[in-house]
């Protein structure tokens, strides 16, 4: 049996840490959360030389061990806790060749923890382009480590990196410098008070909000003849420590790094001047969004039509080939149509993640954050709030987790409360099916009406989030002040492997997450739609035959009316009828009401629910879209999904808080039920009123 070692990937944001992680692990990776907190955790497995297997954990990006946010605390607490199952045998610090000076601060701190530490210098392919040369032998000697010079883009140095990781026991654990010299007397007294503890660990426990082992701040303060310093003094010492580390780094890089400015060929300044321009910047971003939404429609139409037809045929095949009975009906009318209602949207969701990944990988998304800070400030938010609002287009849950980087509690709370207005990928199936039913196929200046409608819904969601933030900023009496700082990474061509892995992982996560819920709900809905109480359901055949005895109708029409009567008097039909009076003014019938209620589990369940309801008792091979288009309004006559009812439904989903998981995460992040319940009540009421007004005006 091969030995497994723990490898911690650590580094500043934008150093290419994710690219290194992907290069080492490939598809052998999974995403979860750290125990007890909602910070994303990426883990993977990598085979190393000599039969060694590495368990690689990709830690959140951090600039130093002086933590300023909750996700940075994750890094410190893991590095301090030797009893943690993920405690690293080796720390791999990933740095960027263009920002080596800044990246080495974190490296020197980790070296003080006496963990075997390997320095990875990434983006080596840009050295010639930027006029950079490195004396690796000199750097290794003075930084007291081994260095892996790699390029994930060109796939250079990855095997060397694996080899160095497998020989982690050969790495020196001695610190690069003696940081305790910033206050010799204080650190000597600390060393005497705790002779069996590592000095730098003690320093981190005193200055950070973390604990390790059996030693914490209370014990330090309780030790006789030892006095801890005030917060002001500790801050001053931290600053001295940072200055001392940078002095050391500067001295090393004077000899170990040479930069020939005349060789640096940099288009970055010129591009930034255009992409962050106060007029052209917004215009370019708007054009990019238009292009994305048009592409989502145009590129995915063929695979979507194929999937839609395939599931309709599969359902029909199950009915014709399998023996009659409850299981066949469950499979053909419940499970297959329910899953078809989510699988059909895989192409469009994959394309959405593809475009978001390309924007992030290229470095453009950071420019969008910087650009939007000018807008956000006027509404009581900082540019950092844009990251959750934009990442909310994928899912509100990780977007709300991303607010942990916002230092101000007021800004963080407002961002948490307004992020669910952003159109997430779970709303996409609802939007797409309704838009295809009620918006015509025509084009305006080459842009489809349907793509323009989709983009408008995204802008409405973002606008609602920003306007809500403005109101909350005025209402909430929480005093706080923060400054906006964002790093602008270099522009680069997105790595195909990284983009592909992101699309596969995110789409898989969406389908598995939604698929489990839809499968469970489809089974429940099928049961509720296939059975019912009383004679109206049990004697449906006799009732319909008697009612239509005098009319000349075909057997197919008779069976359809029997199925319709049964559905109406089933458990789900009776439930739907009870809520129909409340939703009828919005242009919805009881079937849509059931879909709205069931989609509280997850918004994307809406389409799967209707697919299941419309399939029960139906023998035709029509697709989901065709069945929905054929629905008749029981009150007004004519199609149920008209322009008025369709727009009403789109606006309802644009504003409603239809997501149980998001409510749970808001409760966890705010540590109170007050905020999620207010969120649910206000957003749902607002959605109902807007949908009501829209239908009454447009009908």
pLDDT digits (tens, 9 = 90+) for 47-90: 988 788 999 999 888 888 887 666 677 888 888 888 888 899 99
Choose one of 170, 192, 211: the last residue of a domain: 170
- For residues 401 and 512, the answer to whether their CB atoms sit within 8 Å is no
For range 649-660, the mean pLDDT: 88
The C-alpha atoms of residue 404 and residue 385 are separated, in whole angstroms, by 10
Residue 348 lies in a domain: yes
Across residues 497-521, what is the average pLDDT? Answer: 75
Given strand 29-33, what is the order of strands in its sheet?
Answer: 29-33, 40-47, 53-58, 4-11, 90-96, 117-122, 147-149
**306 domain-assigned:** yes
91 backbone dihedrals φ, ψ, rounded to 5° = -100, 120
Q: pLDDT tens-digit profile of 230-269?
A: 778 888 888 899 999 999 999 999 999 888 765 555 667 7
Which residues on adjacent β-strands are paired with residue 9? 58, 92
Residue 35 pLDDT > 50: no
Mode of pairing for the β-strands spanning 53-58 and 4-11:
parallel
Q: 373 or 473, which is more confident? A: 473
- DSSP assignment letter at 44: E
pLDDT at 224: 42
pLDDT of 358 higher than 80: yes
Residue 143: pLDDT band (50, 70, 90) is very high
Task: Encode pLDDT of 376-409 as tens digits.
Answer: 777 877 666 776 777 677 677 767 766 766 767 7
Sign, CA torsion 573/576/578/580: negative
If asked whether residues 60 and 148 sit together in one domain, one would say yes
Residues counted in the chain: 699
- Backbone torsion region of residue 445, taken as left when φ is above 0, otherwise alpha when ψ lies between -120 and 50, otherwise beta: left
Which string of DSSP letters, residue by residue, matches 263-295? G----HHHHHHHHT-TTHHHHHHHHHHHHHHHH
Going from the C-alpha of 65 to that of each of 209, 384, 502, the distances in angstroms are 11, 21, 28
The CA distance from 618 to 527, in Å, is 15
Residue 16 assigned ligand-binding role = yes
78 belongs to a structural domain: yes
- Both 467 and 591 in one domain: the answer is no
What is the distance between the alpha carbons of residues 88 and 113, in angstroms, rounded to a whole number? 12
Structure tokens at 510: 């969406």
Q: Please indicate, yes or no, whether residues 396 and 506 belong to a single structural domain of this protein.
A: no
Among 204, 226, 225, which residue's Cα sits nearest to residue 215?
A: 204
Q: Are both 523 and 651 inside the same structural domain?
A: yes
Is 13 annotated to bind a ligand? Reply is yes
- Residue 563 near residue 618 (C-beta atoms within 8 A): yes
pLDDT of 469 strictly over 70: yes
Looking at the domain assignment, is residue 231 inside a domain? no
State the pLDDT at residue 221. Answer: 55
Give the least confident one: 219-228, 270-279, 402-411. Answer: 219-228
Please tell me whether 58 is known to bind a ligand. Answer: yes
Average pLDDT over residues 677-692: 94
Nearest to 108 by CA among 242, 297, 208, 233: 242
Whether 415 and 537 share a structural domain: no
Is 12 annotated as belonging to a binding site?
yes
Question: Nearest Cα to 248, choosing from 103, 105, 63, 93?
Answer: 105
Residues 573 and 673 in one domain: yes
Residue pair 71/60 in contact (Cβ under 8 Å)? The answer is: yes
pLDDT at 620 over 80: no
73: annotated binding-site residue? no
Extract the tokens encoding 349.
């969701």
d(CA 577, CA 492): 57
Give a yes or no: residue 675 inside a domain: yes
| Residue 15 annotated as lining a ligand binding site | yes
Residues in CB range of 415: below 8 A, 6 or more apart: 381, 385, 388, 389, 403, 406, 469
| 440 assigned ligand-binding residue | no
Cα-based distances in Å from 88 to 61, 65, 91, 175, 200: 16, 16, 6, 17, 17
**For residue 139, is pLDDT > 90?**
yes
Asked whether residue 17 is marked as a ligand-binding residue, the answer is: yes
Which of residues 268 and 116 earns the better pLDDT score? 116
Domain that includes residue 530, residue range = 496-698
Name the least confident of 195-199, 206-210, 226-230.
226-230
602 & 461 share domain = no
Q: Are 569 and 540 in contact (CB under 8 A)?
A: yes
The reply to whether 23 sits in an annotated binding site is yes
Domain end marker among 444, 475, 506: 475
Q: Do both 92 and 137 map to the same domain?
A: yes
Residue 125 is assigned to a ligand binding site = yes
Of residues 38 and 367, the one with the higher pLDDT is: 367
131 marked as binding residue: no
Does residue 212 carry a pLDDT above 60?
Answer: no
Annotated ligand binding at 61? The verdict is yes
Residue 236 lies in a domain: no
For residue 284, tell me if it sits in a domain: yes
Count of structural domains, the chain? 3
pLDDT band of residue 687 (cuts 50, 70, 90) is very high
Question: pLDDT at position 147, please?
Answer: 93
CA-nearest of 289, 346, 588, 589 to 461 is 289
What local confidence, expressed as pLDDT, does residue 518 receive?
Answer: 67
Q: Is 18 flagged in the annotation as binding?
A: yes
Is 25 among the annotated ligand-binding positions? yes
Question: How much is the average pLDDT of 175-180?
Answer: 87
**Is 88 marked as a binding-site residue?**
no
Last residue of some domain: 135, 170, 205?
A: 170
pLDDT at position 117 is 95
Is 66 part of any known ligand binding site?
no
Tens-digit pLDDT profile for residues 328-344: 888 887 788 777 767 77
463 and 563 belong to one structural domain: no
**What gap in Å lies between CA 382 and CA 370, rounded to an integer?**
10
Which pLDDT score is estimated for 250?
A: 93
What is the per-residue pLDDT across 431-454, written as a single tens digit (0 to 9) for each? Answer: 888 898 888 888 877 778 888 898
Residue 33: predicted pLDDT: 43
Regarding whether 500 and 635 lie in a shared domain, the answer is yes
Q: What is the CATH number of the domain that holds 155?
A: 3.40.50.300
Q: Are residues 585 and 669 in the same domain?
A: yes
Please, what is the end-to-end C-alpha distance for the chain in angstroms?
71
Please give the DSSP secondary-structure letter assigned to residue 111. H
- Residue 220: pLDDT band with limits 50, 70, 90: low
| pLDDT greater than 50 at residue 36 | no
Which of 171-180, 287-296, 526-535 has the highest average model confidence (pLDDT)? 171-180
Confidence bin at 689 (pLDDT 50/70/90)? very high
- 338 in a labelled binding site: no
Strand residues in 489-540 grouped as ranges (E):
none
Same structural domain, 509 and 403: no
Is 670 labeled as ligand-binding? no
Is 169 annotated to bind ligand? Answer: no
Task: Identify whether 605 is part of a domain.
Answer: yes
> What local confidence, expressed as pLDDT, does residue 219 receive?
59
> Distance (Å, rounded) from C-alpha 604 to C-alpha 423?
12
């Amino acid at each position: 049996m091969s030995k497994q070692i723990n490898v911690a990937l650590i580094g500043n944001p934008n150093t290419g840490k994710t690219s290194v992680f992907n290069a080492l692990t490939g598809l052998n990776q999974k995403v979860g959360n750290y125990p007890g907190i909602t910070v994303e955790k990426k883990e993977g497995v990598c085979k190393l030389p000599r039969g060694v297997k590495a368990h690689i954990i990709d830690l959140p990006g951090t600039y130093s061990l002086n933590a300023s946010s909750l996700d940075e605390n994750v890094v410190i607490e893991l590095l301090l806790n030797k009893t943690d199952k993920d405690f690293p045998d080796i720390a791999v610090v990933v740095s960027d060749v263009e920002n080596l000076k800044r990246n080495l601060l974190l490296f020197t701190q980790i070296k003080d923890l006496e963990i075997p530490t390997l320095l990875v210098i990434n983006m080596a392919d840009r050295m010639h382009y930027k006029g950079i040369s490195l004396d690796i032998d000199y750097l290794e000697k003075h930084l007291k480590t081994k260095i892996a010079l790699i390029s994930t883009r060109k796939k250079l140095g990855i095997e060397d990196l694996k080899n160095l990781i497998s020989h982690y026991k050969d790495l020196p654990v001695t610190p690069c410098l003696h940081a305790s010299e910033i206050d010799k007397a204080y650190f000597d007294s600390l060393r005497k008070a705790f002779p069996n503890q590592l000095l730098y660990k003690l320093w981190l426990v005193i200055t950070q909000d973390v604990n390790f082992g059996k030693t914490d701040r209370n014990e330090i303060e309780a030790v006789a003849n030892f006095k801890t310093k005030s917060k002001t003094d500790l801050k001053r010492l931290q600053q001295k420590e940072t200055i001392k580390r940078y002095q050391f780094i500067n001295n090393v890089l004077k000899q170990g790094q040479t930069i020939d400015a005349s060789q640096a060929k940099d288009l970055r300044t010129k591009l930034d001047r255009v992409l962050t321009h106060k007029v052209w910047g917004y215009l370019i971003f708007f054009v990019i969004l238009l292009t994305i939404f048009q592409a989502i429609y145009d590129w995915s139409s063929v695979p979507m039509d194929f999937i839609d037809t395939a599931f309709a045929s599969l359902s029909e095949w199950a009915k014709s080939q399998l023996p009659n009975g409850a299981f066949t009906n469950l499979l053909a009318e419940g499970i297959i149509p329910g899953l078809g209602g989510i699988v059909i949207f895989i192409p469009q969701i994959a394309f959405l993640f593809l475009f978001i990944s390309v924007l992030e990988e290229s470095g453009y998304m950071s420019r969008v954050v910087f650009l939007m800070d000018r807008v956000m400030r006027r509404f009581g938010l900082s540019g950092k709030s844009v990251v959750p609002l934009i990442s909310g287009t994928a899912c509100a849950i990780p977007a709300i987790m991303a607010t942990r980087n916002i230092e101000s509690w007021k800004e963080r709370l407002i961002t948490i409360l307004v992020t669910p207005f952003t159109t997430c990928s779970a709303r996409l199936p609802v939007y797409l099916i309704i838009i295809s039913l009620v918006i015509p196929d025509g084009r305006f200046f080459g842009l489809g009406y349907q793509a323009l409608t989709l983009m408008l819904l995204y802008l409405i969601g973002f606008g609602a989030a920003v306007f809500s933030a403005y109101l909350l900023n005025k209402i909430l009496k929480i005093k706080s002040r923060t400054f906006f700082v964002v790093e602008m990474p270099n522009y680069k061509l997105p790595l195909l492997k990284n983009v592909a892995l992101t699309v596969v992982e995110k789409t898989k996560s969406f389908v598995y997450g939604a698929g489990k819920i839809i499968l469970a709900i489809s089974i429940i809905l099928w049961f509720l739609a296939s059975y019912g109480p009383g004679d109206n359901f049990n004697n449906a055949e006799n009732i319909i035959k008697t009612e239509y005895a005098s009319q000349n109708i075909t057997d197919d029409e008779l069976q359809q009316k029997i199925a319709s009567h049964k559905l109406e008097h089933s458990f789900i039909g009776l439930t739907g009828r009870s809520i129909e009076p409340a939703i009828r003014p919005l242009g919805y019938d009881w079937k849509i009401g059931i879909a709205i209620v069931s989609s509280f589990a997850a918004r994307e369940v809406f389409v799967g629910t209707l697919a299941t309801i419309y399939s029960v008792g139906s023998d035709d091979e029509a697709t989901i879209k065709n069945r929905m288009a054929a629905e008749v309004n029981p009150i007004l006559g004519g199609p149920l999904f008209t322009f008025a009812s369709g727009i009403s439904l789109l606006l309802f989903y644009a504003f409603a808080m239809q997501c149980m998981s998001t409510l749970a995460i808001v409760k966890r992040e705010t540590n109170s039920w007050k905020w999620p319940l207010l969120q649910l009540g206000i957003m749902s009421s607002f959605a109902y009123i807007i949908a009501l007004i829209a239908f009454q005006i447009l009908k």
